Amino acid sequence: MSLANRKVLVLNKSWQAISVVSLEKALKKVAGTYSDGTPKAKIIDCVNDFRSFTWQDWTELKPEINESCMKGVSCILRIPEVIQYTRYDKVPKKKVHYNRRTIYKRDNNTCQYCQKMKNSEELSLDHVVPKCQGGLTTWENIVVACTDCNSKKAGRTPKQAGMKLLRKPMKPKSNFFTGDIRIESWSQFLGENYWSIELENDNS
């Protein structure tokens, strides 16, 4: 995995996993300080005993054999996999915005009728119960459909059109993440909520 694609798990002060960010963003957080000089976040050493390190201390660590490394200005650095906020102890509730992108994400870019995975351009949104029959524009009544299925179904319900939905559309939980990034050291902090950790938008 290239450094640009590396992800870092973020824990709050109480060791709860709260987000996943790019390596670049994680390093910025570790470099940030409060007005009294305390670092905003520290790097957790998952290989050893979960000690936390400031950036300065981290640069003095020697990489373990077989460990993935990155080149610093004058040294070889271990790549942080987990960071922890030093003061922040909340678990932010993130709202899932209702928009085309989140519906595509929820349905995994897969037509909910023929089950084919397609590029976004070949997909459209379908009202399960069509608008002309009183169907609402809600999480529970909108699915992703390919253009073929969408035009075949037209202004009919799946039943009327003799088509079957892959699954019942639902509103996603408040936090959801369906990426496939899995770093072994994270498992120690992620129980069953693994799939509910939101992958933070790197622009945010």
Nearest distance from C-beta of residue 135 to Zn ion, angstroms: 18
Tell me which residue of 40, 32, 78 sits closest to 57, measured CA to CA. 78
- Contact status: 113 vs Zn ion (CB under 5 A): yes
Collect all residues with Cβ–Cβ distance below 8 Å to 196 and sequence separation of at least 6.
173, 175, 176, 177
- Contact status: 189 vs Zn ion (CB under 5 A): no
For residues 149-188, which are near Zn ion according to CB under 5 A? 149
- Contact status: 125 vs Zn ion (CB under 5 A): no
Q: Could you tell me which stretch among 75-83, 93-101, 142-150, 190-198 binds Zn ion (CB under 5 A)?
A: 142-150
CA distance 41 to 8: 12
Residues in the chain: 204
CB contact at 8 A, 56 and 42: no
Return the residue of 91, 103, 114, 181 that touches Zn ion, per CB under 5 A.
114
Q: Could you tell me which stretch among 64-72, 145-153, 161-169, 191-199 binds Zn ion (CB under 5 A)?
A: 145-153
- Contact status: 146 vs Zn ion (CB under 5 A): yes
